[in-house]
Amino acid sequence: MWEPGGSQPDNSHQGSTEIFVFLAGRGIAHSDEHSVPVGPGDVLILPRGSVHHIENTSTTERMYAVTIMTEDTGALPGGFAELVNSGTRVAWDDIDRAALGSAQP
């Protein structure tokens, strides 16, 4: 989930391909020298080692995506699984439930 105007810093995964499935909101995905608009229904596949970040271009709405890592190096320190598992668990609020329908986390 990206807050309005939000973006993660440039990042890269040397051992994993990363896939984003965009559910709601709109933004721009940057990977190496490429930039593409993304929105609901779009699928973005980022190859191993690409330097990338995604930004929410809205100033009022959150952007949502499901992220999938292939061949995650999560068993190693610093892998994606470790990043997700060590994150802060946050409950959905009314804005999230409205944007994503009746789905439950």
Please check the confidence at residue 13 and state whether its pLDDT lies above 90: no
Q: What size, in residues, is the chain? A: 105
Each residue's pLDDT tens digit, 58-70: 999 999 999 988 8
Distance CA 55, CA 25 (A): 11
DSSP characters over 39-68: -TT-EEEE-TT--EEEEE--SSS-BEEEEE
Residue 76: DSSP 8-state: S
Domain 17-88 has CATH 2.60.120.10: yes
49 vs 105, which has greater pLDDT? 49
Please check the confidence at residue 79 and state whether its pLDDT lies above 80: no
Nearest CA-CA partner of 96 in 5, 19, 25: 25
| Domain residue spans of the chain | 17-88
Each residue's pLDDT tens digit, 27-59: 999 999 999 999 999 999 999 889 999 999 999
